Structures are given as structure tokens and as C-alpha cells.
Amino acid sequence: MSKEEQLGWERQYGRLAAVAAILAVVVQLAAQVVQNSALADSGNGQRGLLTKLDEVGGQVVAGRVIQAVSVVFVVAALLYLLRCTRNRRDVMPGIVGLLVLSPILIGVGGVLTQLDLNDVASDFVSTGERTEKRADDLIADREAAPLFIGLAGTIALGFSYIVISLGAMRAGLLSRFMGVLGIIVGVFLVVPLFPPAPLIQVFWLGALGILFLGRWPGGRGPAWESGEEEQWPRMADQRAEMLRQQQAQKAEESAAAGNEDEPRPQSRKRRKKRR
């Protein structure tokens, strides 16, 4: 593929990738709203959770499905960024398969896990004592396979975030800030130690959509226009370039104003004839 064809493909599918990134944000937030609203008044402890799940288990499953759909949009945006990166530099082989597999594992694992938990909730409410200890025991004894399936998908997606963000940053398609932030998103997907981590992912995806649309403040890196691997300019370099352009514009305006103030040659001849 020639450079012209490569850049043409990127322009053609850039808007679709931007839509996918923005939809990932919207659908992910919708999934959180559905699940949180369903379990809003579940109370504290596993006993309250199982009791509430027996009433709204179907709504929580719907939230899991919506969440899986959001991952599909995430993967679509990352696949576009990966393709653009591979047009400029080598990326770890096999990452496409890992990325495509992640929403399947996350969706299947998440839904099966929730259905299993709904069965536990039904058993807790319909039989035996409704104590906190019994609720803890029932949750601890549930099937582990769905949990491992979902965890495998999350690890695959997190690892893909890290590899693609690092490669795109080195190719000059992401700024250092966006590249590092994408790596952080991937790490927190695998090791969710930071509570606002989902908000970081939402912010990153929204910013990625703006980048794909070419609406990035100060302009995108030169690699997007050249089709070659070029480092994204540092903030200090961008400020220096903006200052240089402003000074050049002021110099041109001053020169133009000076030319207007000078008398025209024709008017000088007219003055000589009158004398």
C-alpha cells in the first residue's frame, strides 16, 4: 500500500473510529447507570446484595450486556489506532487476536457470572436462613469458571491497551500524555487499585475520539499527515513554534502597513507637473 492509499484509508475510517470511541464512552456510562440504579438501595453486606438481586437480577444482567457492547466499541477504536500504528512501525504480533478475543471473553464471563450470582440470590431468598454468614458462604461457593473467563478477557484488553498506546506514542500518533494515560488505563484494568480508574478510561476514549476527528487542540502530530514515524512535538516546541508564527505574522502586518504609508510613484509625478 502506498503512502497516499494509507493516508486515504486513515481519513476514510477515522470518523468511524471516532464514533466508536465516543459510543464506547456513552454505552459504558449507560451500563453503569443501569447497574447502579438497580442496586442503589441494596444495603450493606452480601445479605442485602443477594436479597436485592433476587428482585432486579434481570436488570443487572442487562447492564452486563450493555457493558459488553461498550467493550466492542472500545476494540473498534483500538483496532483503528493499531492499524495506523502498524502503517508506521512494527507492533507486537498477535495483538490483534488478543484484542478481538477480549470482548467475547468479557461478555461471556460477565453474563455467566451474573446469571450464577442471580441463582445464588434466588437460593438464598427461597431456602434457609437469610443471615450474613450464609450469604458469604453461598457467594464463596459459586462457580469459578465464569469469573476466570471474564478475568481473562479483562487482562487481554488491558494488555492490548498497554501495547497499542505504547506503539502509537512511539510512532507519533499519540502525545506523551495520551500514550502514558492509555498505558495507565491498561494497568488499572488488570489491577483495579485506583477507584476512579473507569473515569480515566472514559476521559481517554473521549479524547481519542477528538484526536481521530482531527480536532486536537494545537493540531495533531506530524505523523498523522506524513504517514511516517515522527515524534509528537513536545509542549515547549509547540509553544516556541506558535510564538514564531505570531512574530512572523506581526512582522508581515507591520511591513504591509509601512507599504501603505509610502506615497505612490504616480502621485509624485502629478505633484511635479503642478509645480
CA-to-CA distance for 242 and 233, rounded, in angstroms?
A: 12
Predicted pLDDT at 254: 75
Query: pTM score, two decimals?
Result: 0.82
Q: What nine digits make up the cell of 50?
A: 443477594
Q: How far is 95 from 101, CA to CA, in rounded Å? A: 10
pLDDT value at residue 93? 87
* Residue 273: pLDDT over 60: no
Radius of gyration of the chain from its Cα atoms, rounded to whole angstroms: 28
- Give the separation between CA 168 and CA 78, rounded to whole angstroms: 10
Q: Read off the pLDDT of residues 25-35 as tens digits, 9 standing for 90 and up.
A: 999 999 999 98
The percent of residues above 70 in pLDDT, for the chain, comes to: 89
With a cut of 50, say whether residue 274 has pLDDT above it.
no
Q: Is the dihedral of CA 133, 192, 72, 27 positive or negative?
A: positive
**Nearest of 123, 124, 96, 81 to residue 211 by alpha carbon:** 81
Distances (CA, A) of 70 to 28, 126, 207, 248: 5, 34, 16, 47
CB 39 within 8 A of CB 56: yes
C-alpha to C-alpha distance for 105 and 82, rounded to whole angstroms = 20
Taking only the tens place, the pLDDT of each residue in 142-179 is: 888 999 999 999 999 999 999 999 999 999 999 999 99
d(CA 86, CA 168): 9
Q: How confident is the model at residue 271 (pLDDT cuts 50, 70, 90)?
A: very low
The pLDDT value recorded for residue 129 is 85
Q: 251 is written with which cell numbers? A: 512582522
Check residue 62 and give its pLDDT: 93
Nearest to 208 by CA among 24, 65, 6, 10: 24
Name the residue with higher pLDDT: 252 or 61: 61
Residue 198 pLDDT grade (very low, low, confident, very high; cuts 50, 70, 90): confident
Percent of the chain surpassing pLDDT 90: 58
CB environment 135-161: b (16+ within 10 A), e (fewer): beebbeeeeeebeebbbebbbbbbbbb
For 225-245, the pLDDT digits (tens) are 999 999 998 766 656 656 676
Res. 262: pLDDT tops 60: no
Per-domain boundaries in the chain: 3-226, 235-274
Count other Cβ atoms within 10 Å, centred on residue 163.
22
Residue 231 per-residue DSSP state: P
